[in-house]
Amino acid sequence: MALQKHLVLFYVVVSFCAASCYSSGFQEVNSLHSFVDHEKESGYNSRAHPSNMNTIEGVKFMEFIKPRAQLFSSRKLERAGSKSSSSVKTISVANFGAKGNGADDTRAFEKAWKAACSSNGAIVLVVPQKTYLVRPIEFSGPCKSHLTMQIYGTIEASDDRSVYKDVTHWLIFDNVQSLLVVGPGTINGNGNRWWENSCKRKPQPPCNEQAPTAVTFNKCNNLVVKNLKIQDAQQMHVRFQNCKNVEASHLTVTAPEDSPNTDGIHITNTKNITISSSVIGTGDDCISIVSGSQRVQATDITCGPGHGISIGSLGEDNANDHVSGVFVNGAKISGTSNGVRIKTWQGGSGSASNIVFQNVEMNDVTNPIIIDQNYCDHKNKDCTRQRSAVQVKNVLYQNIRGTSASTDAITFNCSQSVPCQGIVLQNIQLQNARAKCNNVKPAYKGAVSPRCSWGLVN
Ligand SMILES: *[C@@H]1O[C@H](CO)[C@@H](O)[C@H](O)[C@H]1NC(C)=O
Ligand SMILES: *[C@@H]1O[C@H](CO)[C@@H](O)[C@H](O)[C@H]1NC(C)=O
């Protein structure tokens, strides 16, 4: 009876909320309770599955998705915005010789960073409203005090590929703690030359497999990145790696649909990161989440064109990879090849677990919901069946509706030796399409269409 009441309340909340209140904390908590309830109700044996949502990790996970504290503490806002505050010093790259006139301003940026980073007391490093050409540059820490980089203008990459000694990075923030990078300006990777010479576009050598990530944050804890436009990256746009406690919001990330490997936001080995209110349309994943990442929350994401929101790939070259605690709540995904995807290679190990995809609107998406444990995209790789696999478990798909561009709205291509476990589909309406399911027994809740009808033939 109590459960029934709870469910009625939950459906009322959901039907009022479905379209409009994506980030309502009330709904978040309700729906996870519901996930847990459902598992009890359907006889899902939590003792048999040690990292069920009810376990310690699950509790922490629920804790983490509770309505979060304000993105900005007032102190942070003060240091970002106010020049009058006596405790905050402001310096500009212009003070160090940056002209923003089409000449190379790298040296000035380096000097300005050095000054800002060694300053005692909070400091704002300003990039004025001009376009500054810079070569690959490393903004490294640790810095003496809290630093804000406020970009009003545009930081643009040179299109001369010979200036990159390390072809994997353009702008890198390395080991800077409590850093704030705010707009409203633009970071422009000017990637056209790289795309033209990529192996995807130009199969005959010499071609570039690798191209720089436009902006990398490495080992940056307590990081805020806000209100920026990042466009036309050489390869990935923004990469968070080895970071903890990250708030990224109000980002606009764009590149042409045919630009190769230009992921929007890439998250690797990063814990406790929130991406919110962002618009991402590129030639690859809008958001990709790979090994070592935990507590990843994405809310209010507009995605497309591109490859959708992806966990993985995991387990490539027999890697032992782990991703857990991913909560995607509120996304509008349009014209992409995938919607919400989990992809793992055969032969790997580890797990992708405790994952919620909630309140997602799909618009003409080729594979709206997909788990592929047989992922293999390199022609030169061995794609034959292997016994070992990355375990996929405890994945809730809830309130997902819209249109599929293919006949397969749902594909669960799970591994025969390590089947998918704890997959729940709740309130799914994907039109005129079917579900192909292999080595998985999803639980259904509410109205779910399509449901698994026939298996894949392997
Ligand atoms: C997660 O990060 C946010 C800020 O980005 C911080 O306020 C919060 O305390 C962090 N949570 C944990 C459990 O570290
Ligand atoms: C599922 O995986 C197998 C590899 O075992 C592959 O042959 C098949 O094409 C995959 N199906 C889909 C729909 O991706």
Ligand 2 proximity of 383 Cβ (cutoff 6 Å): no
Asked if residue 102 belongs to a domain, the reply is: yes
Asked if residue 55 belongs to a domain, the reply is: no
Listed range (124-133, 378-387, 430-439) with the worst mean pLDDT = 378-387
- DSSP collapsed to 3 states, the chain: CHHHHHHHHHHHHHHHHCCCCCCCHHHHHHHHHHHHHHHHHCCCCHHHCCCCCCCHHHHHHHHHHCCCCCCCCHHHHHHHHCCCCCCCEEEEHHHHCCCCEEEECHHHHHHHHHHHHCCCCCEEEEECCCEEEECCEEEECCCCCCEEEEECCEEEECCCHHHCCCCCEEEEEECCCCCEEECCCEEECCCHHHHHCECCCCCCCCCECCCCEEEEEECCEEEEEEEEEEECCCCCCEEEECCEEEEEEEEEEECCCCCCCCCCEEEECCEEEEEEEEEEECCCCCEEEECCEEEEEEEEEEECCCCCEEEEEECHHHCEEEEEEEEEEEEEEECCCEEEEEEEEECCEEEEEEEEEEEEEEEEECEEEEEEEEECCCCCCCCCCCCCECEEEEEEEEEEEEEECCCEEEEEECCCCCCCEEEEEEEEEEECCEEEEECCCCEEEEEEECCEEECCCC
pLDDT for res 377: 80
List pLDDT tens digits, range 163-221: 999 999 999 999 999 999 999 999 999 999 999 999 999 878 888 889 999 999 999 99
pLDDT for res 419: 97
67 Cα: distance to centroid of ligand 1 (angstroms): 12
Residue numbers of the domain that contains 152: 83-456
pLDDT for res 453: 76
Asked if residue 268 belongs to a domain, the reply is: yes
**Better-scored residue on pLDDT, 428 or 88:** 428
Q: What is the CATH number of the domain that holds 150?
A: 2.160.20.10
307 flagged as catalytic: yes
435 Cα: distance to centroid of ligand 1 (angstroms): 38
List pLDDT tens digits, range 338-353: 999 999 999 999 999 9
Asked if residue 61 belongs to a domain, the reply is: no
Ligand 1 proximity of 55 Cβ (cutoff 6 Å): no
pLDDT for res 325: 98
Question: Among all ligands shown, which has an atom nearest to the Cα of 243?
Answer: 1
**pLDDT > 90 fraction of the chain, expressed in percent and rounded:** 74
Ligand 2 proximity of 458 Cβ (cutoff 6 Å): yes
pLDDT for res 204: 83
Asked if residue 54 belongs to a domain, the reply is: no
pLDDT band at 380 (very low <50, low <70, confident <90, very high): low
Flag whether pLDDT at 243 surpasses 50: yes
Flag whether pLDDT at 329 surpasses 60: yes
Of all protein residues, the one whose alpha carbon is nearest to atom 4 of ligand 1 is: 245
**Better-scored residue on pLDDT, 75 or 107:** 107
Residue of 33, 250, 307, 322 marked catalytic: 307
Q: What's the predicted TM-score (pTM) here?
A: 0.84
Flag whether pLDDT at 101 surpasses 90: yes
Give the number of the atom of ligand 1 that is nearest the alpha carbon of residue 68: 7
pLDDT for res 379: 64
Listed range (46-60, 237-251, 284-298, 418-432) with the worst mean pLDDT = 46-60
List pLDDT tens digits, range 278-300: 999 999 999 999 999 999 999 99
Asked if residue 68 belongs to a domain, the reply is: no
- Domains in the chain, number: 1
pLDDT band at 64 (very low <50, low <70, confident <90, very high): very low
pLDDT for res 320: 97
Average pLDDT, the chain: 84
pLDDT for res 31: 44
Q: Average pLDDT, stretch 400-424?
A: 96
Asked if residue 277 belongs to a domain, the reply is: yes
List pLDDT tens digits, range 7-47: 333 333 333 333 333 333 333 334 444 443 333 333 333 33
Asked if residue 225 belongs to a domain, the reply is: yes
Flag whether pLDDT at 238 surpasses 90: yes
Give the number of the atom of ligand 1 that is nearest the alpha carbon of residue 223: 5
